[in-house]
Structure 1
Amino acid sequence: MDKQDAPNKPISFFKKLGPGLITGASDDDPSGIATYSQAGAQFGLATLWTSLLTFPLMAAIQGMCARIGLVTCEGLTVTLKKNYPRPVLYIMLLFSFPAITLNIGADIQGMGAVCHMVFPAIPVSVFCVGITAVMMYVIIRFSYKKIAMILKWLCMSLLLYIVVPFMIKQNWGDIAKHTFIPTIQYNKDFFSIIVAILGTTISPYLFFWQTTMEAEDQAHNGKGIVVDKRVLSEMKTDVNTGMLFSNIVMFFIILTAGSVLFPAGMREIDTVDQAAKALEPLAGKLTYLIFATGVLGTGLLAIPVLAGSQSYMLAETLGWKAGLDKKFSQAKPFYVSIIFSLLVGLSLDFLGVSPIKALLYTAIAYGLTAPVLIAMIMHIGNNKKIMKEYTNSKLSNILGGLTLLLMTAAAVAMIWFLF
């Protein structure tokens, strides 16, 4: 009996995972892949250790967001609106909306460029339009349950990046050294890439998405406002698994670029398609195709999360009916805002906006809002009036405080480097 059940355990475990896995995996979007590839190409294995740093920090903040969603059964925007001055919320939205839209645009452009690289006869713009149309159809046509299932399976595309380094001869002793012993180079370029990695992994839109999805998951599963140790334990497992998965993938992307592109003298990777293209002559066509396929999978996963988080934020602020489980006719403003954000993101390609510039502006906006949002999330997490007996643990507060300090330092460093 036990032997028969054993093969089903991984499947059963995967089925229990939900918002945490999707949130973590969506963090490794095409723009994130470009950042990690640049880190590896520019500094070799020197930034591998950052994955050990970002995992507990991500897990702590996303765990707080998930608990807020479970306990309040409301999105983060609603909680902010109810308990904090309105100007604070509006400032967050003012910075978040352009950043998310630029992020969507950069991801669509990245996916289009990778498709064009594989099928050069078809222009990038045609692929961008097709990708956007597919995104709209899936989000409008399918229910929350169906979309969640699709997103969960798309998470598996990230496993491709774990395979790639094993297709190349590696010095695992050197890899272990750079993973567990931090390497710090005291120059502007190195600190810039560290700031970029922090901004890419700890992104404000994920805070909103995680909170809303936990609340929506509760409502969808009929759990209502019942929160107990079992529900919290399942949430922690889901979030920790998602963040661990995200950071493992980040580690292997840096490793791939650091062990292939850096030794070959390729120091500049501006776009994700450049990273994929550079691998072909150095590591073989199969490696290049696997890397490119992963970009498409992560883009299809991340764009609905980006567009969805922005629309939830807007709907919760303005009091619209919202929910991916609702039909278009039941929540028209919500779905129209999703369509609008996708079209604006798509238009960046036709307006000639460079994806690199889009990512730079995104990083600036995320960098400025992240410390403020983290401080507010920690305040909510320790507010007994809101969280009742489910306030933050001492460990959560320590990790949250460390995240706040690092993200504040990253924001100051980013402004310093820019000006």
Structure 2
Amino acid sequence: MFKKIGPGVLVAAAFIGPGTVTACTLAGAEFGYALLWAMGLSIIATIILQEMAARLGVVTQSGLADVIKSEVVSPYVRNLIIGIVLGAIVIGNAAYEGGNIGGGTLGLEALFGPAYLMYYPYVIGIFAFLLLYIGNYRSLERIFIGLVLVMSLSFLLTAVIVKPDVEKILKGLFLPSIPEDGILMVIALVGTTVVPYNLFLHAALVSEKWKSETYLSTARRDTVVSIVLGGTVSMAIMVAAAAIPDKDISNVMDLAKGLEPLYGNAARYFMGVGLFAAGITSAITAPLAAAYVAQSCFGWQGGMKDKKFRSVWMIILILGVFFMSLGIKPIRIIKFAQIANGIVLPVIAIFLLWAVNRPSVMRRHQNTRIQNVFGVLIVILALLLGAKSILRVFGVF
């Protein structure tokens, strides 16, 4: 699968999951075009960070955790950093997994109704467990990605059909403003686009595909094109959702209203299939990413069949199902996952920025001054947003 498509496409497919569909629909329905700038900023931040991760992978032929282990001399500092990275990825992915299973649950609810809602998380959890345990999920993943692409094209067409106000779109895109109660939604949009574990996955995937520094321009082009296309779909979802008459979105039927201009009464089924596909695909990817990070941190050599490797993805999967079994609405779980991602992001971004500035790691492919300026600005912005969300939760702001 990795030989046929670039890693950038997989990164883009990873962030167009149930969290993106839900967060972008909520943002469009609640705030119209006002937060398009936040999505645009998220796309730029994603391109900058993922380019660094891709360059690191091509030049070093290893992952971010491996670089940290080899470059930090003090064993105490090294263990502390590895512990922070491991904790951030595992905790972040556990929350993200709850959102993935929540997205799949919403899909099943749209297809089969709410009568068996309490059983849907277990169905998705068992399905994901079997695919991960057996390991023969690649052909199914192609089908799921195809279904997600159908949903993405649906939103792009819907965004055109609803005849949006172009002037208001441009205003929302280029004149930043945060409406009242909009800060958590901004963090959710950032968290659903700039996914921390994608930085680890991207570095690993490019080192599998491209074995020489001569492919750096190819890797960079693959990253930019894929993420811009993914971001365009995210913006189309926000534009389509802005046309939803009923702004109070509490269930999947309300989410499906964003597709009604294109599909009419069948919109719920298209939304259901898309959310189920996005949820299952991401429910497989997130636990695997956490397991790969743990494998890199601890130096395990057994591969996917190793008991320790399997134990990590099992824990992530079980935690995801547990979060969904608490009776919390799937949309709330998904929104929380995006906020958690936004808080984890600055931690991982700081380590990535440090790694790509090491001459011993990157040789002549270190960050330029302008790349460092943008990188530092992204970290500062992520820190401010993360702090603001924490203060908001405790009622300070």
- Identify the TM-score tier after normalising by the shorter chain: 0.7 to 0.9
Structure 1 residues 391 and 185 mapped into 2: Cα distance closer, same or farther (>3 Å)?
closer
Gaps of 5+ in 1: 1-13
User: Residues of 2 paired with 1:416 and 1:337: CA distance?
Assistant: 31
Q: How many angstroms does 1:67 deviate by?
A: 1.4
Structure 1 residues 183 and 284 mapped into 2: Cα distance closer, same or farther (>3 Å)?
farther
User: Residues of 2 paired with 1:120 and 1:152: CA distance?
Assistant: 24
Identify the residue that residue 319 of structure 2 maps to in structure 1. Answer: 344
Q: 2:23 matched to 1:31?
A: no
Percentage of matched positions with identical amino acids: 23
Identify the residue that residue 138 of structure 1 maps to in structure 2. Answer: 131
Equivalences for 1:228-247 in 2 at 5 Å? Answer: 228-229=213-214, 231-247=215-231
1:187-229 Cα offsets, whole Å, 9 max, x none, are 3x122221221122122122122222223x24xxxx5xx4233
Structure 1 residues 297 and 143 mapped into 2: Cα distance closer, same or farther (>3 Å)?
closer
Q: 2:206 matched to 1:227?
A: no
1:215-266 Cα offsets, whole Å, 9 max, x none, are 3x24xxxx5xx4233x11221122112211221111011111112x2xx2x3
Identify the residue that residue 40 of structure 2 maps to in structure 1. Answer: 52
Kept in 1, the 8 Å contact 2:189–2:338? The answer is no
Structure 1 residues 287 and 199 mapped into 2: Cα distance closer, same or farther (>3 Å)?
same
Equivalences for 1:259-408 in 2 at 5 Å? Answer: 259=243, 261=244, 264=245, 266-270=246-250, 274-276=254-256, 284-321=264-301, 323=303, 328=305, 331-356=306-331, 358-359=333-334, 361-408=336-383
Report the secondary structure of 2:44's partner residue. helix
Kept in 1, the 8 Å contact 2:62–2:204? The answer is yes
User: Residues of 1 paired with 2:252 and 2:56: CA distance?
Assistant: 35
Q: How many angstroms does 1:52 deviate by?
A: 2.5
Gaps of 5+ in 2: 73-77
Identify the residue that residue 161 of structure 1 maps to in structure 2. Answer: 155
1:82-101 Cα offsets, whole Å, 9 max, x none, are 32322122123223312211
Q: 2:122 matched to 1:129?
A: yes
Q: How many angstroms does 1:271 deviate by?
A: 5.3
1:10-41 Cα offsets, whole Å, 9 max, x none, are xxxx9753221111221122122211111111
Q: How many angstroms does 1:154 deviate by?
A: 5.5
TM-score scaled to structure 1, two decimals? Answer: 0.82
Amino acid at match of 1:319: G
1:291-322 Cα offsets, whole Å, 9 max, x none, are 33322232233222211111111111222126
Report the secondary structure of 1:388's partner residue. helix
Kept in 2, the 8 Å contact 1:22–1:151? The answer is no
1:73-126 Cα offsets, whole Å, 9 max, x none, are 222222222323221221232233122112112221221232122212761344
User: Residues of 2 paired with 1:121 and 1:352: CA distance?
Assistant: 13
**In the alignment, which of 196, 204, 219 is matched to residue 212 of structure 1?**
204
Q: How many angstroms does 1:164 deviate by?
A: 2.6
Report the secondary structure of 2:297's partner residue. helix
Kept in 2, the 8 Å contact 1:31–1:272? The answer is no
Q: 2:189 matched to 1:201?
A: no
Identify the residue that residue 92 of structure 1 maps to in structure 2. Answer: 85
Identify the residue that residue 75 of structure 2 maps to in structure 1. Answer: none
Kept in 2, the 8 Å contact 1:110–1:271? The answer is no
Identify the residue that residue 184 of structure 1 maps to in structure 2. Answer: 177
Report the secondary structure of 2:364's partner residue. coil
Kept in 2, the 8 Å contact 1:205–1:309? The answer is yes
Amino acid at match of 1:194: V
**In the alignment, which of 56, 63, 70 is matched to residue 58 of structure 2?**
70
Q: How many angstroms does 1:289 deviate by?
A: 3.0
Instruction: Tell me the number of residue pairs that the alignment of Structure 1 and Structure 2 aligns.
Output: 387
Structure 1 residues 303 and 154 mapped into 2: Cα distance closer, same or farther (>3 Å)?
farther
Q: 2:233 matched to 1:249?
A: yes
User: Residues of 1 paired with 2:309 and 2:226: CA distance?
Assistant: 27
TM-score scaled to structure 2, two decimals? Answer: 0.86
1:106-147 Cα offsets, whole Å, 9 max, x none, are 221221232122212761344433333332333343469768
Structure 1 residues 322 and 200 mapped into 2: Cα distance closer, same or farther (>3 Å)?
farther
Kept in 2, the 8 Å contact 1:34–1:269? The answer is no
Amino acid at match of 2:57: G
Q: How many angstroms does 1:385 deviate by?
A: 0.5
Identify the residue that residue 415 of structure 1 maps to in structure 2. Answer: 390
Once the two structures are overlaid, the 10-residue window that deviates more, 337-346 or 172-181, is 172-181
**In the alignment, which of 67, 75, 79 is matched to residue 67 of structure 2?**
79
User: Residues of 2 paired with 1:113 and 1:144: CA distance?
Assistant: 22
Q: How many angstroms does 1:59 deviate by?
A: 0.5
